[in-house]
């Protein structure tokens, strides 16, 4: 009898782990792919005879396309199937880099940026729809944290991988090989049998889940919440080194070490946050408490010229707490999404994150142009306080899932 019960349970666990590994690998590819072009800017500048402004325009095109297509991709994920959308995204991102390596020109660089933006808009809606449908509720926070960490890791290793490829096979070959990773991972997902998730498949009590409006007050607030999260961290991540050097007299090495500690601790915090998210339903309060402490720490960094060791400790703690809230952030979106609408919900709120990515370089660049380096950290504190307030607004009593079966629980 024990074996009869244990075998299906083990099979379900194995399927969940396989799904999590596959989806996390796809998320690794997404961050790897959009990090490749900036790593090749010196090569692209020399080969194309353009300046950095023109190269930067390609990144702006990528960000704008990604922002505009997040929500539509979420709709497609919910209606035609998240797996199909994800596989197309992997192949499309790979095609963009391969074709740039084969036909290197500025026009192809812009076209590649458009295709990479389209591909990038696929991952969050499709990934979260599949994870929400096929991961056990008790492990959802940890699954989200592993998924997020995989993306961080993809961006972190991209510079080393691209440098090794350029040194061995040159810039053209680096583009082609980096692009080939996309379709290869798509093939891997097909081979291991990644499951699908779509609104048409979701049922509650044996009946198809009714269509509900996705544009709810909670989703709107969460979209703003995601934008503020990006604005809270982007200034430190993108301008922290120059701000520390200009405004606080930090050396280049100490400023870079402090930023590395901030980013590395953030990745570790994401994994820790997954365990925390699985042990509470008060995800808004978790985010609020972590970011309130974070705001206090960053305010100290902004107001006081800290010694190197204290600066590193403060940046490490701030990065860790910023990472801890990521799984709780994702759980807030999942809880706010109507049944069968996880793809659309994550597509819409991720648009806010992308919009923050468009605004933040302009805002913090303007701050540095005014020679206000302290306000790189000061403005981050303001955005953190606003994020805390919105996190408390989005928090609500946990739903009694045991009383009402949720269509987003383990999908057979």
pLDDT at residue 2 greater than cutoff 50: no
In this chain, the answer to whether the domains covering 2-197 and 217-394 adopt an identical fold is yes
Q: From 406, 409, 384, 396, select the one nearest 283 (Cα to Cα).
A: 396
Going by C-beta distance under 8 Å and a sequence separation of 6 or more, which residues neighbour residue 25? 150, 185, 188, 189
Q: What is the pLDDT of residues 341-371, one digit of tens each?
A: 778 888 888 888 888 878 887 888 888 888 8
pLDDT confidence of 400, banded at 50, 70, 90?
A: very low
Please give the pLDDT value at position 335.
83
How many C-alpha atoms does 366 have within 13 Å on its Cβ side? 5
Fold held by 2-197 = Growth Hormone; Chain: A; (1.20.1250)
Give the burial class of 99: count Cβ atoms within 10 A of its Cβ; 0-12 exposed, 13-18 middle, 19 or more buried.
middle
Cα distance between residue 254 and residue 312, in whole Å = 8
CATH architecture for the domain at 217-394: Up-down Bundle (1.20)
How many C-alpha atoms does 349 have within 13 Å on its Cβ side? 30
pLDDT at residue 404 greater than cutoff 50: no
List phi, psi (to 5°) of 337. -75, 135
Please give the pLDDT value at position 264.
84
Q: From 346, 396, 397, 384, select the one nearest 147 (Cα to Cα).
A: 346
Lowest mean pLDDT among 107-121, 140-154, 195-209, 326-340: 195-209
- Domains of the chain, by residue range, sit at 2-197, 217-394
Lowest mean pLDDT among 104-108, 135-139, 229-233: 135-139
**Do the beta carbons of residue 127 and residue 107 sit within 8 Å?**
no
Lowest mean pLDDT among 7-11, 46-50, 94-98, 99-103: 7-11
- Indicate the helix (H) or strand (E) that contains 62: helix 52-80
- What is the percent of the chain where pLDDT is above 90? 32
> What rounded mean pLDDT belongs to the chain?
84
Higher pLDDT, 271 or 156: 271
DSSP SS3 for 50: coil
pLDDT at residue 191 greater than cutoff 50: yes
How far apart, in Å, do the first and last CA atoms of the chain sit? Answer: 22
């Amino acid at each position: 009898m024990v074996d009869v019960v244990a075998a299906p349970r083990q099979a379900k666990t194995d399927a969940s782990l396989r799904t999590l590994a596959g989806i996390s690998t796809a998320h690794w590819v997404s961050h790897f792919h959009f990090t490749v072009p900036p790593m090749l800017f010196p090569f692209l500048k020399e080969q194309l005879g353009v300046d950095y402004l023109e190269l930067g325009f390609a990144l702006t095109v990528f960000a704008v396309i990604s922002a505009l297509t997040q929500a539509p991709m979420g709709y497609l994920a919910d209606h035609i199937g998240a797996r199909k959308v994800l596989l197309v995204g992997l192949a499309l991102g790979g095609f963009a880099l391969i074709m740039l390596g084969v036909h290197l020109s500025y026009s192809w660089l812009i076209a590649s940026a458009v295709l990479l933006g389209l591909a990038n808009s696929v991952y969050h809606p499709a990934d979260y729809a599949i994870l929400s449908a096929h991961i056990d509720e008790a492990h959802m926070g940890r699954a989200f944290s592993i998924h997020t960490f995989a993306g961080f890791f993809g961006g972190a290793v991209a510079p080393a991988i691209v440098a090794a490829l350029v040194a061995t096979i040159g810039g053209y070959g680096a583009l082609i090989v980096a692009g080939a990773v996309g379709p290869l991972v798509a093939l891997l997902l097909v081979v291991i049998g990644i499951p699908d998730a779509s609104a048409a498949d979701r049922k509650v009590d044996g009946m198809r889940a009714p269509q509900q409006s996705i544009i709810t007050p909670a989703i709107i607030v969460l979209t703003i919440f995601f934008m503020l999260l990006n604005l809270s961290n982007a200034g430190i991540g993108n301008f922290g080194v120059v701000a520390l050097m200009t405004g606080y007299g930090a050396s280049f090495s100490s400023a870079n070490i402090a930023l590395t500690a901030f980013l590395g601790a953030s990745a570790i915090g994401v994994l820790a946050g997954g365990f925390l998210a699985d042990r509470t339903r008060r995800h808004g309060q978790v985010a609020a408490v972590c970011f309130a402490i974070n705001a206090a720490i960053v305010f100290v960094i902004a107001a006081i010229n800290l010694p190197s060791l204290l600066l590193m400790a403060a940046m490490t703690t701030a990065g860790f707490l910023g990472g801890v809230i990521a799984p709780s952030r994702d759980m807030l979106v999942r809880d706010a999404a109507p049944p069968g609408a996880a793809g659309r919900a994550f597509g819409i709120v991720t648009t806010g994150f992308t919009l923050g990515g468009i605004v933040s370089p302009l805002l913090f660049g303007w701050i540095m142009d005014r020679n206000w380096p302290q306000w790189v950290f000061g403005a981050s504190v303001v955005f953190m306080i606003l994020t805390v307030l919105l996190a408390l607004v989005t928090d609500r009593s946990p739903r009694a899932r045991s009383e009402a079966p949720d269509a987003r629980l383990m999908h057979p």
